[in-house]
Structure 1
Amino acid sequence: MKNAASKTTPDTTFDVIVIGAGPIGQSVAARARAGGLSVAVVEKELVGGECSYWACIPSKAMLRPVVAVADARRLDGAREAVTGPVAAAGVFRRRDRYVTDWDDSGQAQSLADMGAHLVRGHGRVDGPRRVAVATPEETIVLLTAVHAVVVCTGSRAAVPDMPGIAEAKVWTNRTATDTATVPGRLAIIGGGPVGVEMATAWQGLGAEVTLIAREPRVLPQFEEFAGELVDASLKAAGVDVRHSTTVTSMRRPSPAGPVTLLLDDHSEIEADEVLAAVGRVPLTGDIGLETVGLTPGSWLDVDDTCRVRGVEGGWLYAAGDVNHRALLTHQGKYQARMVGNAIAAQADGRALDTSPWGRHAATADTHALAQVVFTDPEVATVGLSADQAARDGREIRVVDVDIPATVVGALLYADDYQGQARLVLDGATDCVLGVTFVGYGVTELLHSATVAVAGQVPVSRLWHAVPSFPTISEVWLRLLEALRDGERQ
């Protein structure tokens, strides 16, 4: 790397070096600074990362107007006021506002305000506790860490390897969230969270969407009813959903022309654009892992403090997508808080609390993982599904409730409310292991469920958590009543 630049600067030493200035890297920096440590943060793109500019923020800014119009159409008296389609140009303006027109100066200033030193450029680990940064000015900045280097470089969209995909110029999540033109026909490959969210958004913006799912149902990693309800809603909105289907090849003879997708049943689909939403791969291919005995391009194996295993001296950490524990921004920021706290404690000579639910252990990654899919209806889930708990060998009790059949607040929220809830209990302790809500507006219920799972709250105590009437949160009471009624049988 040193030969690729015209000048090398003298070493600069910090207590902690963070590679990646997305939400996770910023959170590590904030906790390390709160612990009195000096911090350098390295970023080669925009400060704020994928979440701020091409994922969570822009996608939700695009989805909310689509769902708001759908919400209005579900209410007598309100639907009459909806006189036209969603205005795509207005949605794009809204999105651009929330991504600050891809200007990262505000987030860069936030780093400066916390006292972190921002180094712009491509950072690579350069042996133990060292990072070499190739800057835009073609210099190499050498950084040395006293205590720790933290890798927060995130992930990128996986693009399937198949004939014709290069000429097809497929979209990834980045194109799907920063383009300002609605394609006439959009084919989406993948039935996971990104695929179904983008199908919801782009169908609502006026595209003719075909969703191609390899699995027999969309959202296969969630409770079965979640995929069924989202699938039915997508079809009702006009999305052509193809299940148990694989794309085998593509062709786009003209760069400005349509794409033809060949499916495994030998049928074809023609689209103006194609979005690949088939997973993520780690951005670790060119960050110097080989200099410390690790494999470039790999997910980084970490312990519960997010310290990378197999690195002598225990100075290397990885938080966020790169460790593959939970590819979610909020969960990565949670890990970052653990990492920052752990580094600061060790620097101060204090012992780490790595017991389950301890101050320096990311226990929620495996026991209270919360996730939302912003479709219409929404999917909100935390903890273990019934299948996951059963595979773990646990004795469980499962309680299901049809939300519109039992919750008055849901009917007031939408005249034709669609939704379901599931509670998974530990049969031995009666504590909550997992909760799934599917329905309109259920995302705001999720944190109550997260508290119940993380707090290992028993059913006996939940009876004293009284939901307000008439709200959708009454579903909690209905779940408990269904459990009680089942016990009487």
Structure 2
Amino acid sequence: MSDKETRTYDVIVLGAGPVGENVADRTRAAGLSTVIVESELVGGECSYWACEPSKALLRPGLLYREAAGFPGVASAVTGPLDASAVLAHRDRMVSDWDDQGQVDWLNSAKIELLRGHGRLDGPRRVAVRTPDGDTVHLTARHAVAVCTGTTAALPDLPGLAEVRPWTSREATSAHRVPGRLAILGAGVVATEMAAAWQALGAQVTLIARQSRLLGRVESFAADLVAERLRAAGVEFRFGTTIAAAARPGGPEGEIRLTLADGSDLVADELLLATGRAPRTAAAGLDTVGLTPGEWLAVDDSYTVTGVDGDWLYAVGDVNHRALLTHQGKYQARIAGAVIAARAAGQSLDTARWGRHTGTADLEAVPQVVFTDPEVTAVGLTTEDAARAGREVHVVDYEIGQVAGASQYDPDYRGRARVLIDPSRQVIVGATFAGRGVAELLHSATIAVTGEVPIDRLWHAVPSFPTISEVWLRLLETYRDQRHSS
């Protein structure tokens, strides 16, 4: 290829993760020629280093603990998890980090793939540095969509380069179980990886500046997760952080950590689960008047603000609205429809295109934390409501009192909470913590997003005996609260 080669498409998509794939699928289905640029694996972070491998590591441990505590089954659990088998299962789930299946899908959808690092090179232009060192110049007739996601945000820690810490990528792709694993962080990655690696045989110590886990969920749910992690053997160092780190014995030696509270810790590996940063530092943002390395601000059609012409879009984690794969794919469906409409000369006025305006990634974001117990939430938490000054009625119910839960686990521990707007009589937030509650989340999402009136929810009858009967118990509890007030 020549550095002077130029190709023209209707749409250029930077990043072939789930978000970029969905944007490209929608624009190609609308008849627009589309090229997708990817420097790593087609399928992106979620497929190879996040959602898929992390759940493959977590599920065996969750099943093991469930079976070990169930009458008639516990006696059959005679040994520890087979870590080698779990890691092999993880490898199968990520296709051994081979993206040929995803490439085949792109071909079937008639989406062209260009491998290499793509960066903006002015309005509607992208320069791609290919693996063989050449540069291909791309021009878009209608749109460029930046779907480059995020990368691990690392703290400014003395000795970090020599320590060679894990990020979420190494934590989900490691091929051996460390004897001692230190984790810095208290969010979803930290708690899920603590659960996974402790179950696989590591001694995990979690270090957090905060005083609790999972600061964005209801405190009762975070407390249940911490209780189970402690019972599994995870140690906690709350209210402190790492002041210095060293690996004096070289790449294979132990890591010596000095904490801010003056204590010390020795580990074989260190996972830094300290947040995410936008993957935009080398995206050429300066060529269109934006600042490299920053999040891309967008409107509700995912058009980048601050760039004239309605041609530049930022979809998925890179716009910082909701850093979740399912929300990024939701955004991609809307962005693809908007790009297609504008290419066809159609107006995006609210009357016609309101259904293609992104709202769910701001108002009703569903999320599951796949720990033991699972934590699921959508909409507001009590802390969210307090910060916003919104009046809500808080309704709690112990899930273990539901017949379906006792069938699931004789000693079931978990809680459900819904927040009800008293003036509109609709649910504005829901949180469930307990085994098997992930499948309750979509019903909660529909209730919140659809603003289903409480009086109407009485007619959504849950099956018996299932955990979903907790919905009926929550409504009954709310009725009793109202009658007693």
Between the aligned partners of 1:45 and 1:354, the Cα distance in structure 2 is 38
Which secondary structure state, in structure 2, belongs to the residue aligned with residue 342 of structure 1?
helix
| 2:342 counterpart of 1:314 | no
Moved over 6 A (4+): none
| 2:81 counterpart of 1:49 | no
Q: Residue 353 of structure 1: CA displacement?
A: 5.2
Q: Residue 352 of structure 1: CA displacement?
A: 1.9
Q: Is the 8 A contact 1:384 1:433 kept in 2?
A: yes
Aligned to 2:184: 189
Between the aligned partners of 2:271 and 2:185, the Cα distance in structure 1 is 9
Please say which of residues 445-454 and 18-27 is displaced more in the overlay: 445-454
Aligned to 2:441: 446
Aligned to 2:111: 116
Q: Which runs of 5+ in 1 are unaligned?
A: 1-5
Between the aligned partners of 1:127 and 1:333, the Cα distance in structure 2 is 27
| 2:267 counterpart of 1:271 | yes
| 2:328 counterpart of 1:335 | no
Aligned to 1:289: 285
* Residue identity in the other structure for 1:147: H
Q: Is the 8 A contact 2:118 2:129 kept in 1?
A: yes
TM-aligned CA distance change 1:354 to 1:248, over 3 Å:
farther
Between the aligned partners of 1:449 and 1:101, the Cα distance in structure 2 is 36
* Residue identity in the other structure for 1:151: V
Which secondary structure state, in structure 2, belongs to the residue aligned with residue 375 of structure 1?
coil
Q: Is the 8 A contact 1:33 1:114 kept in 2?
A: yes
CA-atom RMSD, angstroms? 1.3
Q: Is the 8 A contact 1:355 1:361 kept in 2?
A: no
Aligned to 1:3: none
Map residues 474-485 of structure 1 onto 2, 5 A cutoff: 474-485=469-480
Which secondary structure state, in structure 1, belongs to the residue aligned with residue 355 of structure 2?
coil
Aligned to 1:155: 150
Between the aligned partners of 2:41 and 2:110, the Cα distance in structure 1 is 19
Q: Is the 8 A contact 1:395 1:427 kept in 2?
A: yes
Map residues 77-116 of structure 1 onto 2, 5 A cutoff: 77-116=72-111
* Residue identity in the other structure for 2:34: V
* Residue identity in the other structure for 1:388: D
Aligned to 2:232: 237
Q: Residue 140 of structure 1: CA displacement?
A: 1.0
TM-aligned CA distance change 1:157 to 1:356, over 3 Å:
farther
Q: Residue 391 of structure 1: CA displacement?
A: 2.1
Identity %: 59
**Which of 359, 381, 406 does residue 355 from structure 2 map onto?**
359
TM-aligned CA distance change 1:83 to 1:407, over 3 Å:
same
* Residue identity in the other structure for 1:475: V
Q: Which runs of 5+ in 2 are unaligned?
A: none
Q: Residue 7 of structure 1: CA displacement?
A: 2.7
Count matched residues. Answer: 483
| 2:363 counterpart of 1:377 | no
TM-aligned CA distance change 1:89 to 1:350, over 3 Å:
same
With the length of structure 1 as denominator, give the TM-score of the two structures. Answer: 0.97
Which secondary structure state, in structure 2, belongs to the residue aligned with residue 7 of structure 1?
coil
Q: Residue 74 of structure 1: CA displacement?
A: 2.3
Q: Residue 357 of structure 1: CA displacement?
A: 9.5
Q: Is the 8 A contact 2:5 2:135 kept in 1?
A: no
* Residue identity in the other structure for 1:268: D
Which secondary structure state, in structure 2, belongs to the residue aligned with residue 8 of structure 1?
coil
Please say which of residues 355-364 and 130-139 is displaced more in the overlay: 355-364
Between the aligned partners of 2:147 and 2:63, the Cα distance in structure 1 is 34
Aligned to 2:412: 417
